[in-house]
Amino acid sequence: MYNFEFVKPASVADAVAALGEEDAQALGGGQTLIPTLKQRLAAPSKLVSLSGIAEMKGVSAADGVLSVGGATTHGTVAAEAGAYPALADLASHIGDPAVRNRGTIGGSLANNDPSACYPSAALASGATIVTNAREIAADDYFQGMFTTALEEGEIITAVKFPIPEAANYQKFLQPASRFALVGVFVAKYADGVRVAVTGASEDGVFRWSEAEAALSKEFRGDALMDLKVDPANMIGDLHGTKEYRAHLVGVLTKRAVVAAG
């Protein structure tokens, strides 16, 4: 690692101020950033830890919305997001137990790894990404692999998930990293079904609109029977071809629908 200055502010305001410096970077749980720094692929002058900001931690549910503080760990979401069981279940399978004790939802969404789990939940839930400056709809937030609507120095302080009538997340593991080779999150709301896919596309997390339309009409696995995902934009690598990923999207979506009930 290149060396850097480490600061751990206690408030969002102090964190924003610290991030105003050139080459300062926010540190969530560090489960992705620290390995990146070890490879010397990033050289921040200052790391601003968000782990000391109490107002950014915790899970609460009210009026059909689950709010998760940006610095809340996956482990905490797994334990405390009982109001949104599919989300708690997703969080309980990110990485491994030790990673879940450090990694945070804000860190995951800010990084927007194309194989991460949380982006699919946020997008399928039509979640709102709350930052120190504004609120961003999930549909506007994800802008391709490792790319988001966040401005320089902007911090995710919370994520608000409308709680669906039914939902499920299906993850098919990439056997080495244990990230999603493909992950599909299906959420059924009164006004329709949303399906978000992670791991599969060169463009990062995406909504499978044909499936959404079919499932909004009829929320059954069989409703997907005639649908196929175009392999053209899928990721192809040593763990699976484009065609295989496209195939898995269909299988996992069906399974998510069946599991969601």
Which span sits near another protein by CB under 8 A: 91-99, 160-168, 202-210, 212-220?
91-99
Residues 6+ apart with CB under 8 A from 148: 109, 110, 112, 141, 142
- Among the listed residues 10, 20, 38, 143, the single contact to another protein using CB under 8 A: 38
Shortest gap between Cβ of 244 and another protein (angstroms)?
4
- Among the listed residues 240, 246, 253, 257, the single contact to another protein using CB under 8 A: 240
- Among the listed residues 9, 17, 21, 30, the single contact to another protein using CB under 8 A: 30
The string of DSSP codes covering 157-218 is EEEEEEPPSEEEEEEEE-TTT-SEEEEEEEEEETTEEEEEEESSBTT-SEE-HHHHHHHHH-
Cβ distance 126 to 137 under 8 Å? yes
Which two tokens mark 111?
């990084």
21 binds another protein (CB under 8 A): no
Helices (H), the chain: 12-19, 33-38, 74-80, 85-91, 97-100, 105-111, 118-124, 138-141, 209-217, 242-260
Pick the closer one to another protein by CB: 6 or 146: 6
Pick the closer one to another protein by CB: 162 or 231: 231
248 binds another protein (CB under 8 A): yes
Shortest gap between Cβ of 49 and another protein (angstroms)?
6
75 binds another protein (CB under 8 A): yes
Which two tokens mark 153?
């120095």
Which span sits near another protein by CB under 8 A: 27-35, 83-91, 149-157, 196-204?
27-35
Q: Which of 112, 253, 108, 134 is nearest to 194 (CA)?
A: 253
- Among the listed residues 60, 143, 147, 177, the single contact to another protein using CB under 8 A: 177
Within a 13 Å sphere around the CA of 82, how many CA atoms are in the beta-carbon half?
A: 2
- Among the listed residues 12, 18, 49, 87, the single contact to another protein using CB under 8 A: 49
Which span sits near another protein by CB under 8 A: 24-32, 82-90, 193-201, 202-210?
24-32
Q: Which residues bind another protein (CB under 8 A)?
A: 1-6, 8, 27, 30-31, 34-35, 37-40, 47, 49, 51, 75, 95-99, 101-102, 172, 175-178, 237-241, 243-244, 247-248, 251
